[in-house]
C-alpha cells in the first residue's frame, strides 16, 4: 500500500455512558482515563508493575519490560508465576471458592452444568495429573480439538498448570488443517471428543482426528471426551477415554512455578498468503494484559454474569471466555452450539435464563440477528444486560444502532473492541463508564497502548486522513514470535517501520476531529478507484444503511478506466426481492451517501457471503468472482464451500 486512504465517514451520533453506570465503573471519569493513559505510556514499567501486583507471583520479577532485543520482548523477566494458579487457586481462599466459575450450556435442550471455582480447580488438577501420566511435561505441545464443553477449559488450564503448551484447533477445521498444525508444533498429545453438537447435527471430531493422525508420527496418544455418544473407533494403546483416565487421577497437583516468559500457547491464524502463522503467547505478560482489559473494559463486578459467545478455538475465546474472566474471579458463560439452534432466539433465551449482565459478540452475528428479525429478542426479558461488546471486524453503524436499541434497550454502553490474535488482549476500545461512544468507532487506546496512524514514511497523519495503524511501544500481552519462524515474525510485523521500531497491525485506520479512532479494515482490502484509496468498510456501511440490505461485502475488480471498479455483494432483508430496480436504488444510495467515486459498478445479490469459520468475510474469494477468474490458494478457512459455488453459479 502507498498513499493515504480517503475517509468518507460521516457519523455524528454520540452516546455518553449513563451516569449510573459511570458512577460504579472501575474507571469512572475521562480525566482519570487520561491521567492513567498518559502515565502508562510515559512510564510503562511503573504502570504494568503495579498492575501485576494484583496477581500472584511465586517470585517477583527483576525487570518489568525488556525490549533490548527488539522485536523480541520479555515482560516480568525473572518472575515466576502460573496463570492456572491465578485463575483458580488464587480464588479458593476467599468466598469465591463456591462461586460459579463456568456456567455451561450444551446445544441439546436441557444440557446444563455449573462448575464452581473449587470444582473447576479439582478437575483441572486431576487432568493435569492425567497429562503427566501420558508423559507430557513442561514445554511439550498438546493439541486441543474439541467442542465448546467444560473439558476444553479444563484441558487448557491443566496444560498451563504444568507448563505444557496448548494449541487449540477450532472444531470446524478439516483433517489436513489439523495435520499442518500438529506438524508445525511437534504435538505429542491430542485431546478431542467423540463429537460435538452444532445446529442439530453431530460434528464428528474423533473421525477427523483418526484421519489426521495417520500422518502425524509425533502424536503418541489421544484423550477422548465422551460427549455426543456416536460410535468411534479407539486405537488400542493410543486412544483413551477422558473419564477412564480421570477416574484414576489424583486431585492434588500443585501449579508449576513457571518463568514469566514460559510459553503458554500457540494459536494459528491464517495469513492472506502462505501457511498459517503460529502466534506464540507466553505466561506473565499475557496474564496481566487479559486480566486488566477484562477488569476495565468489561467492568466486571463480582456479581456479574458475563458471556462472550466466541468459540474457544479463536483468540477471543482464549482471552475472554477463559483466561481474562477467570483471572478476575468472574462467572463466565460458555455455550456449545449455534445461535439458531433449535430456533433463532437461542442466545436471548440463554441471556434471560442466566440473567446475563455483560454480553460480548461479533458484528457478523449481530447482522444475522437483524436479518432474522426483532421478534426473536423481543420474546425474551433482556433487562439484566448492562454492557454490550463487539469484536472481530468493524461494526457498521447500522448494526451498532440495532444492537444498542433492540438488545441493549438503549441503556447499555457498547464497547467496540479492536485487537488481534497477535495482540493477545484488547488494544483500542471505549471504557464503558467513561467514553462517549460513536457507532462504528473503536474510540481510544487502552491503558499502556501507544498507537499512531501514519503514512508510508511513518509520518503521523492529521484529522480524517486514513493510513496505517501502528503500535509504537511493546505491550505485555503481545505475541513473542511466530512459532519456529522468527524471521517471518520480524518480516510480517516489524519490517515496514523497522527504523522506528513500530508494530504494523495490517489495518487501516483514521482519526476524526474529536480524536476518535475508526478502523477501516485490512490494508489488503483497500480499493483504489481512479487513484483514490477508499476503504471497503465504508462503502459496505453505506450499503447496509439502506433498508433493503442486511449484509454487504465490497471488493475491487480490474477496470479499464478507473484502475479499480467497485463490486458489491449484497444480501437483502426479508421482504425485498432482487431486481434491476433495487440494484439501481443501491447504486444511487451509495452515490448519495459517499459520492460518485464509491458508486458500485457491479451489484451481485447473494443469500450468503463466503466467510471464515470465525465469521470474517473472505474478500479475496469475492475479488476472484468479481474479476471473473478462478479461485486459487488456501480454502481451508472457508466456512461453507457451497456459498462460493453458488456465487459462481449465479454469475453464469
Ligand atoms: C483483525 C484481527 C481480536 C479477536 C478476533 C479477531 C479485525 C478485530 C475489530 C474491531 C474493526 C476489527 C481487524 C484485526 N478486527 N476487531 N473492533 N473493529 N476491526 O482476531 O482473527 O486475529 O483478527 O480483525 O482487521 O486486524 P483475528
Q: Where are the domains of the chain?
A: 530-651
Using pLDDT thresholds of 50, 70 and 90, give the confidence band for residue 1: very low
Q: What percent of the chain has a predicted confidence (pLDDT) above 90?
A: 83
| Model pLDDT for residues 407-454, shown as the tens digit of each residue | 999 999 999 999 999 999 999 999 999 999 999 999 999 999 999 999
Distance between Cα 89 and ligand 1 center (Å): 32
Residue to mutate, 279, 400, 420, ligand 1, most ligand atoms under 8 Å from C-beta: 420
Question: Is residue 546 within 8 Å of residue 583, measured between CB atoms?
Answer: no
Question: Is residue 253 within 8 Å of residue 128, measured between CB atoms?
Answer: yes
Question: Quick one: pLDDT at residue 634?
Answer: 67
Phi, psi of 518 (to 5 degrees): -120, 125
Measure Cα distances from 428 to 275, 356, 416, 469, 636 in Å: 28, 24, 8, 11, 30
Copy the grid coordinates of residue 312. Answer: 474457544
Residue with CA closest to ligand 1 atom 20:
420
Instruction: State whether the beta carbon of 392 lies less than 6 angstroms from ligand 1.
Output: yes
- Reply yes or no on whether the pLDDT at 2 is more than 50: no
3-state helix, strand, coil split of the chain in percent (to 5) is 35, 25, 45
Instruction: State whether the beta carbon of 615 lies less than 6 angstroms from ligand 1.
Output: no
- Reply yes or no on whether the pLDDT at 402 is more than 70: yes
Most confident of 51-55, 173-177, 363-367, 641-645: 51-55
Distance between Cα 316 and ligand 1 center (Å): 10
Question: Is residue 551 within 8 Å of residue 579, measured between CB atoms?
Answer: no
> How far apart are alpha carbons 477 and 196 in whole angstroms?
31
Distance between Cα 426 and ligand 1 center (Å): 10
Instruction: State whether the beta carbon of 294 lies less than 6 angstroms from ligand 1.
Output: no
Residue to mutate, 418, 466, 518, ligand 1, most ligand atoms under 8 Å from C-beta: 418
Selected residue with higher pLDDT from 365 and 6? 365
CATH architecture of 530-651: 2-Layer Sandwich (3.30)
Instruction: State whether the beta carbon of 416 lies less than 6 angstroms from ligand 1.
Output: yes
SS3 state at 45 = helix
Ligand 1, atom nearest to 390 Cα: 17
Instruction: State whether the beta carbon of 535 lies less than 6 angstroms from ligand 1.
Output: no
Distance between Cα 59 and ligand 1 center (Å): 35
> How far apart are alpha carbons 316 and 420 in whole angstroms?
9
| Model pLDDT for residues 568-592, shown as the tens digit of each residue | 999 999 899 999 999 999 999 998 8
Which residues lie closer than 8 Å to 559 by C-beta, 6 or more apart?
Answer: 529, 565, 601
Distance between Cα 221 and ligand 1 center (Å): 35
> How far apart are alpha carbons 81 and 57 in whole angstroms?
5
Helix axes 30-42, 44-52, angle to 10 degrees: 110
> How many CA atoms lie within 13 Å of 18's alpha carbon, on the beta-carbon side?
13
612, β-bridge pairs? 638
| Model pLDDT for residues 121-158, shown as the tens digit of each residue | 999 999 999 999 999 999 999 999 999 999 999 999 99
- E strand residue ranges, 51-199: 63-66, 74-77, 80-81, 100-105, 112-116, 141-145, 165-168, 189-193, 196-198
Instruction: State whether the beta carbon of 391 lies less than 6 angstroms from ligand 1.
Output: yes
| Model pLDDT for residues 154-193, shown as the tens digit of each residue | 999 999 999 999 999 998 888 988 999 999 999 999 999 9
The rounded Cα 101 to chain-centroid distance in angstroms is: 21
Q: Which of 337, 349, 309 is nearest to 200 (CA)?
A: 337
Question: Quick one: pLDDT at residue 633?
Answer: 67
Q: Which of 418, 423, 385 is nearest to 403 (CA)?
A: 385
Copy the grid coordinates of residue 518. Answer: 475508526
Ligand 1, atom nearest to 519 Cα: 11
Using pLDDT thresholds of 50, 70 and 90, give the confidence band for residue 271: low
Give the mean model confidence (pLDDT) for residues 548-554.
94
> How far apart are alpha carbons 386 and 270 in whole angstroms?
34
Question: Quick one: pLDDT at residue 434?
Answer: 97
Using pLDDT thresholds of 50, 70 and 90, give the confidence band for residue 534: confident
Q: Give the mean pLDDT of the chain.
A: 94
Q: Which of 132, 157, 126, 134 is nearest to 144 (CA)?
A: 157
Give the largest CA-CA distance in the chain: 72
Copy the grid coordinates of residue 201. Answer: 447435527
- Reply yes or no on whether the pLDDT at 273 is more than 60: no
> How many CA atoms lie within 13 Å of 40's alpha carbon, on the beta-carbon side?
23
Distance between Cα 168 and ligand 1 center (Å): 19
- E strand residue ranges, 175-220: 189-193, 196-198, 201-203
Give the mean model confidence (pLDDT) for residues 192-208.
95
The set of long-range contacts for 249-252, using a CB threshold of 8 Å and a minimum separation of 24, is: 249/126, 249/127, 249/129, 249/130, 249/133, 250/125, 250/126, 250/129, 251/122, 251/125, 251/126, 252/125
Distance between Cα 22 and ligand 1 center (Å): 27
Return the ∠ at Cα 162 (arms to 160 and 168), rounded to 5°: 40
Q: Which residues of 529-565 are buried (b: 16+ CB within 10 A; e: fewer)?
A: beebbbbbbbbbbbbbbbebbbbbbbbbbebeebebb
- How much is the pTM? 0.91
- Reply yes or no on whether the pLDDT at 272 is more than 70: no
| Model pLDDT for residues 3-39, shown as the tens digit of each residue | 477 776 677 899 999 999 999 999 999 999 999 999 9
Instruction: State whether the beta carbon of 267 lies less than 6 angstroms from ligand 1.
Output: no
Give the mean model confidence (pLDDT) for residues 479-485.
97
Copy the grid coordinates of residue 174. Answer: 478439516
Question: Is residue 234 within 8 Å of residue 257, measured between CB atoms?
Answer: no
Residue with CA closest to ligand 1 atom 10:
418
Which residues lie closer than 8 Å to 169 by C-beta, 6 or more apart?
Answer: 143, 144, 145, 177, 178, 181, 268, 313
Ligand 1, atom nearest to 612 Cα: 21
Cis peptide before 71 (omega within 30 of 0): yes
Measure Cα distances from 385 to 307, 353, 402, 594 in Å: 10, 12, 15, 35
Using pLDDT thresholds of 50, 70 and 90, give the confidence band for residue 95: very high
Using pLDDT thresholds of 50, 70 and 90, give the confidence band for residue 652: low
Give the mean model confidence (pLDDT) for residues 624-637.
79
> How far apart are alpha carbons 234 and 134 in whole angstroms?
16
Q: Which of 13-17, 51-55, 631-635 has the lowest mean pLDDT?
A: 631-635
Copy the grid coordinates of residue 313. Answer: 478455538
> How far apart are alpha carbons 469 and 5 in whole angstroms?
12
Instruction: State whether the beta carbon of 420 lies less than 6 angstroms from ligand 1.
Output: yes
| Model pLDDT for residues 295-310, shown as the tens digit of each residue | 999 999 999 999 999 9
Question: Quick one: pLDDT at residue 617?
Answer: 86
Cα distance between the two ends of the chain: 33
Amino acid at each position: 500500500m502507498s498513499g493515504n486512504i480517503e475517509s468518507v465517514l460521516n457519523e455524528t451520533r454520540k452516546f455518553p455512558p449513563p451516569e449510573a453506570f459511570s458512577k460504579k465503573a472501575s474507571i469512572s471519569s475521562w480525566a482519570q482515563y487520561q491521567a492513567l493513559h498518559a502515565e502508562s505510556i510515559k512510564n510503562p514499567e511503573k504502570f504494568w508493575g503495579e498492575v501485576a501486583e494484583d496477581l500472584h507471583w511465586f517470585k517477583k520479577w527483576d525487570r518489568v519490560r525488556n525490549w533490548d532485543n527488539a522485536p523480541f520482548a520479555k515482560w516480568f523477566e525473572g518472575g515466576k508465576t502460573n496463570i492456572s494458579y491465578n485463575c483458580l487457586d488464587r480464588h479458593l481462599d476467599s468466598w469465591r471458592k463456591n462461586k460459579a466459575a463456568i456456567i455451561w450450556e450444551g446445544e441439546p435442550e436441557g444440557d446444563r452444568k455449573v462448575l464452581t471455582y473449587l470444582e473447576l480447580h479439582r478437575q483441572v488438577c486431576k487432568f493435569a495429573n492425567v497429562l503427566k501420566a501420558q508423559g507430557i511435561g513442561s514445554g511439550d505441545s498438546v493439541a486441543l480439538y474439541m467442542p465448546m464443553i467444560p473439558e476444553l477449559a479444563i484441558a487448557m488450564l491443566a496444560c498451563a498448570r504444568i507448563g505444557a503448551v496448548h494449541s487449540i484447533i477450532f472444531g470446524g477445521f478439516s483433517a489436513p488443517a489439523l495435520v499442518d498444525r500438529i506438524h508445525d508444533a511437534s504435538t505429542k498429545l491430542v485431546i478431542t471428543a467423540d463429537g460435538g453438537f452444532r445446529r442439530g447435527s453431530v460434528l464428528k471430531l474423533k473421525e477427523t482426528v483418526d484421519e489426521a493422525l495417520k500422518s502425524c508420527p509425533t502424536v503418541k496418544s489421544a484423550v477422548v471426551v465422551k460427549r455426543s455418544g456416536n460410535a468411534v473407533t479407539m486405537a488400542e494403546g493410543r486412544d483413551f477415554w477422558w473419564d477412564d483416565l480421570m477416574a484414576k487421577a489424583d486431585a492434588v497437583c500443585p501449579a508449576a512455578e513457571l518463568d514469566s516468559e514460559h510459553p503458554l500457547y500457540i494459536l494459528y491464524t491464517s495469513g492472506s498468503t502462505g501457511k498459517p502463522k503460529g502466534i506464540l503467547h507466553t505466561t506473565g505478560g499475557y496474564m496481566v494484559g487479559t486480566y486488566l482489559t477484562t477488569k476495565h473494559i468489561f467492568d466486571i463486578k463480582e456479581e456479574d454474569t458475563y458471556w462472550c459467545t466466541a468459540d474457544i478455538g479463536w483468540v477471543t475465546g482464549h482471552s475472554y471466555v477463559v483466561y481474562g474472566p477467570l483471572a478476575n474471579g468472574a462467572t463466565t458463560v460458555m455455550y456449545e452450539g449455534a445461535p439458531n439452534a433449535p430456533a433463532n432466539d437461542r442466545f436471548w433465551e440463554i441471556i434471560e435464563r442466566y440473567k446475563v449482565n455483560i454480553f460480548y459478540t461479533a458484528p457478523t452475528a449481530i447482522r444475522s440477528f437483524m436479518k432474522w428479525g426483532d421478534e426473536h429478542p423481543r420474546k425474551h426479558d433482556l433487562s439484566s444486560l448492562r454492557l454490550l461488546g463487539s469484536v472481530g471486524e468493524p461494526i457498521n453503524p447500522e448494526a451498532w444502532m440495532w444492537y444498542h436499541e433492540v438488545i441493549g434497550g438503549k441503556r447499555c454502553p457498547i464497547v467496540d473492541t479492536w485487537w488481534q490474535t497477535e495482540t493477545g488482549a484488547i488494544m483500542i476500545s471505549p471504557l464503558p463508564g467513561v467514553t462517549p461512544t460513536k457507532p462504528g468507532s473503536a474510540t481510544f487506546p487502552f491503558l499502556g497502548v501507544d498507537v499512531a496512524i501514519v503514512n508510508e514514511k511513518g509520518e503521523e497523519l492529521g484529522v480524517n486522513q486514513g493510513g496505517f495503524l501502528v503500535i509504537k511501544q511493546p505491550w505485555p500481552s503481545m505475541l513473542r514470535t511466530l512459532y519456529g519462524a522468527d524471521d517471518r515474525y520480524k518480516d510480517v510485523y516489524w519490517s515496514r517501520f523497522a527504523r522506528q521500531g513500530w508494530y504494523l497491525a495490517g489495518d487501516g485506520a483514521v482519526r476524526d476531529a474529536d480524536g476518535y479512532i475508526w478502523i477501516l479494515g485490512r490494508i489488503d482490502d483497500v480499493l483504489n478507484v481512479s487513484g483514490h484509496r477508499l476503504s471497503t468498510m465504508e462503502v459496505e456501511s453505506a450499503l447496509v444503511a439502506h433498508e433493503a440490505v442486511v449484509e454487504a461485502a465490497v471488493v475491487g475488480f480490474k477496470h479499464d478506466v478507473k484502475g479499480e471498479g467497485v463490486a458489491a455483494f449484497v444480501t437483502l432483508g426479508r421482504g425485498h426481492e432482487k431486481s434491476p430496480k433495487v440494484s439501481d436504488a443501491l447504486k444511487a444510495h451509495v452515490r448519495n451517501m459517499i459520492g460518485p467515486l464509491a458508486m458500485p459498478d457491479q451489484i451481485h445479490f447473494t443469500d450468503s457471503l463466503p466467510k471464515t469459520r470465525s465469521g470474517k468475510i473472505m474478500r479475496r474469494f469475492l475479488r476472484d468472482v468479481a474479476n471473473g477468474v478462478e479461485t486459487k490458494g488456501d480454502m481451508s478457512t472457508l466456512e461453507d464451500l457451497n456459498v462460493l459455488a453458488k456465487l459462481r453459479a449465479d454469475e453464469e
